[in-house]
């Protein structure tokens, strides 16, 4: 396992409570909680800070609209945010609110320290102001006259303001970022900031006088301190009560934030700290965005915001956490799709993990409910898995940690399938005990590694199999015996479909677009070979942008490996995994019949690998030969039979897609 840090102080962005929390807020806290729990498990002195960013005009306006004082308004919102984070089992050690006195005092102090350094001066702040961004833009920064971020009209303003000499810190910051390759994660974000730092860095306006909901400038109370100067300070202000926390935990080891606020965290915040004489944080890690299923950023305006509570209620908190950590690659954007969540629930949770636990609990009954083990999983060495898992914790690639864990779960399942302990007779008891004991030890490892992902499920597994989740160093444990009690299914079969997110909820039953159920993505064939045991199949590795998939396709009759190697294709990605003569196939490459009898893959044109493809206008022109009802019943299975009008290029979200086929050809 890689070297653990001595202590681990991890923080998240503090949320604006101007409206209720959404799935993006929840995602970030779950990611940070994963890293915090993984460090605690390694025995590292860990502290997780989350909180709320309560000042500024945006909040003041929202409070006015609600007919409340700003303080009352944020007090009520704070309850809602905390309730969500408690429900999601975010193991935070502190919850900071910027309207608290401890924060207030520190912000004034850091302001005065920067001023004493000669880094604060009075000037005029002018430009076109966007309240949502709480900042002004120059004419050239506006997009069609609107705010470039919110696409909303701005208001011209000119105000007296205090400025912070941000420009002075451009060079020292460039040097710091260059000398500390891990300061910004992932590396693409680091390059982005370094290239922005090549341009001139303007001084920063750090006060406002047009509203008063904020912390007064200590020596000029007609101004309040600008929200970002105020908000960023929370990471240190939260450590001052009691003061020992500052010496114990600062500098922070990881600030977890969204990619939209990386400039504030990697340039403005470090410059403030340098100016006031505080050490810099070790790392800023920017996660990607959760987009809706069509790849749009979630926003109230679009009505596509997913309520995390609704999803947690329908499945469970742990299932939502698992989905966040498993499906959204660290650092990149991903689409929130209830279809994918449901699919993973069935295949990875119910079939793979749930059944494994049930199997062992049931088999243990043949041993009178007691499993004796040597203390380590002799046939299923977990060390490489544990090493990989924590290596990815350290490189902030949590989805790879979960990947490593799931590979191990599959291996344990395969081990049982191979050893078939259920077939062993009474005279083979010793072998039976050895196999079950080995699986039990493997499950202890699995439950421990699962704890940062799904703390509730990990606990249930431990309770059923008679052990406790403890520190990682307790694995292996030496010879032990465990009292096993069969529990109910961890992931019960679900009859009804999940709750529809607004964006996935059909407006009227007759307007249901069956294709919206399909996850169709652009992929690139990285490797292709003839299937060793099936004459008609190719076995391929296809890069789908967020992951690599093993997919088999029956195209050997028509094409050569050289026709496919490196080629971009369109993949139907949310198919149930199938084993095709010993090779896993998870997805289908779309191809069409041509008039000359050839079959060719559908060409995605210029679309990028990983891009989602939605098929537009397919129901009406012409009508598919199969009734919509047939398709509705089994949308995935039926795709192979759908007849499309392919003379014209297919209209899709990635632009026209050429099927290169005759009208009425089959998409297979
Ligand atoms: N208050 C500031 C942060 C100050 S930190 C000193 C802020 N608040 S926010 O409520 O707008 O966002 C809080 C966090 O949620 C940010 O890190 C932001 O990137 C993240 N997310 C908001 N929407 C998101 C998604 N749709 N997906 C993932 N995270 C996103 O910015």
Q: What does residue 320 show for φ and ψ, rounded to 5 degrees?
A: -65, -45
Which percentage of the chain shows pLDDT scores above 90? 65
- Of ligand 1's listed atoms, the one at least distance from the Cα of 16 is 10
Question: At 389, is the pLDDT very low, low, confident or very high (cuts 50, 70, 90)?
Answer: very high
Shortest-distance Cα residue to atom 16 of ligand 1: 258
Q: Per residue in 187-225, is it b (16+ CB within 10 Å) or e — as a string?
A: eebbebbeeebeeebeebbbbbeebebbbbbeeeeebbb
Active site residue 130: yes
548-553 and 538-543 strand pairing = antiparallel
Residue 619 CB contacts under 8 Å (≥ 6 apart), including other chains:
513, 514, 628
Compute, in angstroms, the gap from residue 89 CA to the centroid of ligand 1. Answer: 19
Q: Which amino acids bring their CB within 6 angstroms of ligand 1?
A: 13-16, 24-25, 27-28, 53, 231-232, 234, 257-258, 260-261, 289-290, 297-298
**pLDDT above 70 as % of the chain:** 87
Which residues partner with 46 through β-bridges?
8
Q: What token pair was written down for 362?
A: 């049931």
Tens of pLDDT, residues 77-104? 999 999 999 999 999 999 999 999 999 9
Domains in the chain (CATH in brackets) are: 7-287 (3.40.50.620), 337-483 (1.10.730.10), 520-667 (2.40.50.140)
pLDDT at position 298: 77
* CB 636, CB 516: distance < 8 Å: no
pLDDT at position 576: 73
pTM of the model: 0.75
Which residue would you say has higher pLDDT here, 266 or 632? 266
497 vs 166: which has the higher pLDDT? 166
Residues 6+ apart with CB under 8 A from 471: 41, 42, 43
d(CA 450, CA 356): 14
The whole-number average pLDDT for the span 432-452 is 97
Catalytic residue among 22, 58, 115, 531: 22
Question: Across the strands, what pairs with 370?
Answer: 483
Q: Are 581 and 531 in contact (CB under 8 A)?
A: yes
In this structure, the dihedral spanned by the alpha carbons of residues 276, 277, 279 and 281, taken in order and rounded to 10 degrees, is 10
Nearest one of 321, 264, 319, 327 to 291, comparing CA atoms? 327
pLDDT for 293 equals 81
- The CA 324 to ligand 1 mean position distance, Å, reads 16
pLDDT digits (tens, 9 = 90+) for 301-348: 677 888 888 899 899 999 999 999 999 999 999 999 999 999 999 999
C-alpha 657/C-alpha 618 separation (Å) is: 13
**Catalytic residue selected from 300, 362, 383, 633:** 300
Tokens 């002195």 identify what position?
Answer: 45
* Residue 300 falls in the annotated catalytic set: yes
pLDDT digits (tens, 9 = 90+) for 502-541: 444 443 333 334 455 567 788 899 999 999 888 889 999 9
Q: pLDDT digits over 342-376, tens only?
A: 999 999 999 999 999 999 999 999 999 999 998 88
Mutate to test the pocket of ligand 1, among 258, 259, 503 (most ligand atoms within 8 A of CB): 258
Under DSSP, the state recorded for 535 is T
- Whether 25 is a known active-site residue: answer yes
**What's the mean pLDDT when you consider all of the chain?**
87
Burial class (CB in 10 A: 0-12, 13-18, 19+), 153: exposed
Structure-token match 């470090």, residue found = 270
Measured by CA distance, the residue closest to atom 12 of ligand 1 is 15
Tell me which of 26 and 125 has the higher pLDDT.
Answer: 26
Q: How confident is the model at residue 300 (pLDDT cuts 50, 70, 90)?
A: low
For residue 659, pLDDT beyond 50: no
**Known catalytic residue: 174?**
no
Token pair recorded at residue 164:
């912070």
For CA atoms 415, 420, 421, 422, give the dihedral sign: positive
């Amino acid at each position: 396992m890689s070297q653990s840090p001595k202590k681990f102080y991890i923080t998240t962005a503090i949320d604006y409570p101007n409206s209720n929390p959404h799935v993006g807020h929840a995602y970030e806290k779950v990611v940070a909680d994963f890293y915090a729990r993984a460090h605690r498990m390694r025995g590292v002195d860990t502290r997780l800070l989350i909180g709320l960013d309560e000042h500024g005009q945006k909040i003041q306006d929202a409070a006015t609209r609600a007919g409340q004082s700003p303080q009352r308004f944020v007090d009520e919102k704070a309850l809602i945010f905390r309730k969500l984070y408690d429900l999601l089992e975010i193991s935070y050690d502190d919850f900071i609110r910027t309207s608290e006195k401890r924060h207030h005092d520190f912000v004034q102090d850091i302001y005065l320290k920067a001023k004493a350094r000669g880094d604060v001066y009075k000037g005029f702040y002018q430009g076109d102001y966007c309240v949502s961004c709480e900042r002004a833009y120059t004419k050239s920064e506006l997009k069609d006259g609107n705010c470039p971020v919110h696409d909303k009209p701005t208001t011209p303003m000119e105000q007296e303001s205090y400025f912070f000499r941000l420009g002075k810190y451009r060079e020292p910051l460039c040097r710091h970022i260059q000398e500390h390759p891990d300061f910004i994660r992932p590396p693409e974000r680091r390059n982005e900031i370094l290239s922005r730092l090549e341009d001139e860095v303007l001084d920063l306006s750090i006060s406002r006088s047009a509203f008063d909901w904020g912390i007064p400038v200590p020596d000029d109370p007609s101004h309040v301190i600008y929200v970002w100067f105020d908000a960023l300070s929370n990471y240190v202000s939260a450590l001052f009560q009691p003061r020992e926390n500052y010496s114990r935990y600062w500098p922070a080891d990881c600030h977890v934030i969204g990619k939209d606020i990386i400039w504030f965290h990697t340039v403005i915040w470090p410059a403030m700290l340098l100016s006031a004489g505080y050490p810099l944080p070790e790392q800023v890690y920017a996660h990607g965005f959760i987009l809706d299923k069509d790849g749009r950023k979630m926003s109230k305006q679009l009505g596509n915001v997913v309520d995390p509570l609704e999803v947690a209620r329908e499945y469970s908190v742990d299932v939502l956490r698992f989905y966040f950590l498993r499906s959204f690659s660290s650092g990149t954007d991903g689409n929130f799709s209830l279809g994918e969540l449901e699919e993973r629930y069935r295949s990875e949770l119910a079939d793979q993990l749930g059944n494994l636990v049930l199997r062992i609990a049931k088999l243990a009954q043949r041993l009178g409910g007691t499993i004796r083990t040597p203390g380590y999983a002799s046939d299923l060495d977990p060390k490489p898995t544990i090493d990989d898992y924590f290596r990815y914790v350290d490189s902030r690639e949590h989805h790879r940690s979960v990947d490593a864990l799931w590979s191990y779960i599959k291996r344990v399942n395969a081990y049982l399938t191979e050893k078939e302990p259920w077939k062993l007779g009474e005279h083979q008891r010793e072998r039976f005990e050895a196999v079950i004991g080995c699986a039990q030890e493997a499950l202890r490892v699995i439950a421990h590694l699962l704890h940062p992902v799904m703390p509730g499920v990990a606990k249930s597994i431990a309770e059923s199999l008679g052990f406790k989740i403890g520190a990682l160093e307790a694995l292996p444990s030496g010879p032990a015996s465990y009292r096993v009690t069969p529990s109910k299914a961890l992931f019960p079969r679900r009859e009804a479909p999940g709750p529809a997110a607004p964006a996935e909820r059909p407006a009227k039953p007759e307007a249901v677009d069956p294709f919206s159920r399909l996850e169709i993505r652009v992929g690139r064939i990285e490797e292709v070979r003839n299937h060793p045991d099936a004459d008609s199949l190719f076995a391929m590795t296809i890069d789908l942008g967020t992951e690599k998939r093993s997919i088999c396709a029956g195209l050997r009759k028509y094409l050569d490996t050289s026709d496919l190697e490196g080629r971009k294709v369109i993949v139907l990605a949310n198919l149930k995994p199938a084993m095709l003569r010993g090779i896993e196939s998870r997805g289908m490459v779309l191809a069409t019949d041509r008039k000359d009898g050839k079959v060719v893959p559908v060409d995605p044109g210029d679309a990028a690998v990983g891009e989602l493809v939605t098929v537009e206008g397919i129901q009406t022109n012409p009508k598919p030969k199969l009734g919509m009802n047939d398709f509705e019943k089994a949308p995935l299975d039926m795709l192979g039979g759908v007849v499309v009008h392919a003379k014209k290029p297919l209209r899709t979200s990635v632009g026209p897609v050429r099927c290169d086929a005759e009208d009425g050809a089959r998409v297979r």
